[in-house]
Amino acid sequence: MNSLNKYKTLITILLATVLLFNPSLSFCKKHKKQSEQEIINQEKIETEIGVVQSDTNDIDTPVLDEKVESLKENIMEADQFLNSALSACGQNNYIDASESYHKFLEKLNSLNLKPEEVEFLLTDCENILRKIKNINGLDTNKNHLNREDALEISMDYDEDILNAWIKRYSVGQSAQSIRLALERSGKYKDMIVSILREYNLPEDLQYLPIIESLFNNNVVSRAKAVGMWQIMAHRGQALGLQINYWVDERRDPVKATRAAAKYLRELFVLLNDWHLALSAYNRGEYGLIRDMKFSNASSVLEMKERNALPKETQNYVPQFIASVKIAKNPEEYGFTNLNYQEPMVFDTVIIDKVIDLKIVAKCANTTVEVIKELNPSILAWCTPHGYKNFELHLPVGTKDIFLENIAKEKDLNPSPGFIKYKVKKGDYLEKIAREFKTTPSAIKEDNPKLKKQKYLQPKQVLVIRPGRKYYSK
């Protein structure tokens, strides 16, 4: 499918998603609650004055039930066709995807939207098109990002609140965490600043990972946000990151930084204010816009004063400003003798085949541990399956020797494949390893989550590469 068709598909799928779940939208909730309240008020009046509607018994309940059931059936069928189309797309089966997709559109057409619903969805369509243009650098209002104030984030905020956060970050356990974050930032600073300049964004945004992750690229939040920039899966995929069994590019510092830059640029274009844009990065743009409408506020401080923001979002901007002030003048706040990490450097080769990381390490004259450290997005034991032009990072200065050695390798993925095994009650790692003629450490290597687990969980799915003796039983 060409780019235009992909965008059309994306728009229609997103509109369909809104349609399928429109009972949860605030627009619908408002009218639903209003209708329910009108009914309650009417019944109350009728009871008080003794009025009985003459046509109450004439309502044909079975007919109403039949219409509701028909609507539900159509929505469920549309949902099935959409899932089939997405599944086929994921398998690169575009013929089946196209067929299921057209059935999905036909089913949507049978839902008979009300005029106000059409208007509501078309507004969403306009927003989606604007976002697609922004993400891909096609914004027609580029002057919006070329203004001087677009390149500077105001450090003005309630002085008492700011001082409280600076003090909190400068003493005790919090100060140790901030120190660690500042030292880690040396590894990523040059790369982040380069990308921010590329996207014409304020360079102070380089300090945002301090409050997001303490510059810990491996952190996973309770909400399942991942990486240095704490990106959710759906957001990452919308920004072009690959997230699947083989790879999670939210863990790739360069690609995640580029995705975060795209999103921050989009938020500023949408909200025209960096404090609001930063709050939206934490809250989500739709959540923040609802908060603004609910509180009739136009700034973060106004929403805070009217208690319209979640506590975490209320604190987000002052936390960021405090972090920027400390990062720019660490000694002023007691952070002396900082040992900044060296900037990350590596060689890059483009890989089109699945290669076992042991083979990669051997050909680059290094270890699997080093390869995994340089390629944190790789989740499996090999380079990702079905990923053309994967950028594999190697220790700096090893590209030539790697290419020379890899050309001599006859078997790039010598492991005998993998088996998905569902854990049963009473299973333990050593028992499973014996069954598949492998070792517990090998199973842990292919299932990174096990390193954080104390016990196996029933029905947990493990990926196991059986030993060669398993196939000769």
Enzyme catalytic residues:
212
Distances in Å between the alpha carbon of 60 and those of 55, 56, 111? Answer: 11, 10, 22
CB 249 within 8 A of CB 241: yes
* DSSP states along 316-327: HHHHHHHHHHHH
What's the rounded Cα separation, in Å, for the pair 304 and 314?
Answer: 6
- How many Å from the N-terminal Cα to the C-terminal Cα in the chain? 46
* Helix and strand counts by DSSP (H, E) for the chain: 19, 4
- Return the structure tokens found at 356: 């076992």
What's the rounded Cα separation, in Å, for the pair 466 and 242?
Answer: 28
Judged by DSSP in three states, 360 sits in: helix
3-state secondary structure 227-248: CCCCECHHHHHHCCCCECCCEE
- Which of 280, 277, 300 is closest to 288 using CA atoms? 280
Q: In the Cβ-directed half-sphere of 189, how many Cα atoms lie within 13 Å?
A: 14
Q: For residue 372, which amino acid is it?
A: K
Judged by DSSP in three states, 338 sits in: coil
Q: For residue 191, which amino acid is it?
A: M
What's the rounded Cα separation, in Å, for the pair 14 and 11?
Answer: 5
Report which secondary-structure segment, H or E, holds 155. none
What's the rounded Cα separation, in Å, for the pair 271 and 393?
Answer: 37
* Tokens 């510059």 found at: 215
What's the rounded Cα separation, in Å, for the pair 375 and 373?
Answer: 5
Q: For residue 41, which amino acid is it?
A: N
CB 31 within 8 A of CB 24: no
Judged by DSSP in three states, 129 sits in: helix
* Tokens 């600076």 found at: 166
Kindly calculate the radius of gyration of the chain based on its CA atoms and give it in whole angstroms: 27
Report which secondary-structure segment, H or E, holds 264. helix 253-271
